[in-house]
Amino acid sequence: MIGVFDSGNGGLTVLRALAGRLPGPGFAYLGDHANAPYGDRPAEAVYRLTVENVERLFGLGCRLVLLACNTASAVALRRLQRHWLPGVDGGRRVLGVLVPVVEPITLVPWQVNAPPSDRPTPPATIGVFATPRTVTTGAFAYEIGRRAPAVTVLQQACPGLVAAIEADAPAAEIAGLVAGFVAALQERCPAGRPDTVVLGCTHFPLVADAFAAALPAGVPILDQPRLVADSLEAYLRRHPDFDDGAGGGAAEGGGIRFLSTGCNGATAAVASRFFGRPVVFERVG
């Protein structure tokens, strides 16, 4: 099984894309509902919780874990890969969701950590909407900048948006919040508008329409779940040993275990909105 981790429900937007795309592997989805949201937590707490939950997925037999949470990827992935994973029993891998998005922005393959000299010119201004914690890490700007230094990355923190999405707030309330974040970003754009937008939180695909309505016509919004599915598909082609062939029916929710550190009576209904099909969690931890 491939482990898919998020602070709560957001990663289900990614899992949905993975299950629709990859018939081979089985998946174990783990939502840390007991500690969500991560987006306002101190970086050290996000790191500690991320490691704890990756360990949990390793303990369940997952050898490959995807952090399907931008906040966890931004705060924890590089540190965990450098300082924690080498001390863990061999052959295990942890991937994140930032770099699959960075590749189409910079037009530089993710394996490349420096800009090649013959690189075509990528769009000039990228707008990233994300949780406050993701924004304070500067991880999107860092990952884009090391491959395409000429690109301007403008980040916009979206406090309150995750909570509003979880609460299924009325469309007018979501539209008002999103319009405010878009206006705040556009004020800082040299040309008054971004060239491309990234919704850098796995909750935000649920309100992509509100972003599209608030942005000027024609500004593309990158589809992070689809890009992560593209990237994982390519990764599994290079590392077929992580594909256990246990995913039969994953597109319909078969071949998937849904785990939660703290689900309650309401969690399944909220989660089902993210996954697009009924979700039943097993409690762990």
Residue of 106, 125, 134, 155 that binds ligand DGL (CB under 6 A): 134
Residue 127, judged by CB atoms within 10 A of its CB (0-12, 13-18, 19+), counts as buried
- Provide CB contacts within 8 A for 264, sequence distance 6+: 33
Residue of 36, 95, 98, 161 that binds ligand DGL (CB under 6 A): 36
Residue of 2, 6, 58, 260 that binds ligand DGL (CB under 6 A): 6
Rounded Cα distance, 200 and 78, in Å: 17
Cβ neighbours of 123 (radius 10 Å):
15
In whole angstroms, the minimum distance from the beta carbon of 40 to ligand DGL comes to 7
In whole angstroms, the minimum distance from the beta carbon of 130 to ligand DGL comes to 6
Cβ neighbours of 140 (radius 10 Å):
25
Rounded Cα distance, 130 and 201, in Å: 5
Nearer to ligand DGL, 206 or 243 (CB): 206
Nearer to ligand DGL, 63 or 197 (CB): 197
Which of 69, 158, 189, 263 is flagged as catalytic? Answer: 69
Among 93, 91, 92, 113, residue whose Cα is nearest residue 102: 113
Decide: is 261 part of the binding site for ligand DGL (CB under 6 A).
no
Rounded Cα distance, 259 and 247, in Å: 16
Nearer to ligand DGL, 24 or 37 (CB): 37
Question: In angstroms, how far is CA 275 from the centroid of its own chain?
Answer: 14
In whole angstroms, the minimum distance from the beta carbon of 71 to ligand DGL comes to 4
DSSP H or E segment with residue 163: helix 161-166
Rounded Cα distance, 65 and 223, in Å: 21
201 half-sphere exposure, CB direction, 13 A CA radius: 32
Among 65, 35, 66, 29, residue whose Cα is nearest residue 49: 35
Establish whether 201 is a catalytic residue: yes
Decide: is 49 part of the binding site for ligand DGL (CB under 6 A).
no
Q: What is the per-residue binding string for ligand DGL in 197-236, x denoting contact by CB under 6 A?
A: ----xxx---------------------------------
Decide: is 267 part of the binding site for ligand DGL (CB under 6 A).
no
Establish whether 69 is a catalytic residue: yes
Hey, what are 216's tokens? Answer: 């000027």
Nearer to ligand DGL, 223 or 243 (CB): 223
In whole angstroms, the minimum distance from the beta carbon of 13 to ligand DGL comes to 8
Question: In angstroms, how far is CA 77 from the centroid of its own chain?
Answer: 12
Nearer to ligand DGL, 134 or 152 (CB): 134
In whole angstroms, the minimum distance from the beta carbon of 28 to ligand DGL comes to 18
The binding site for ligand DGL (CB under 6 A) comprises: 6-8, 10, 36-39, 69-71, 131, 134, 162, 201-203
Residues with catalytic roles: 69, 201
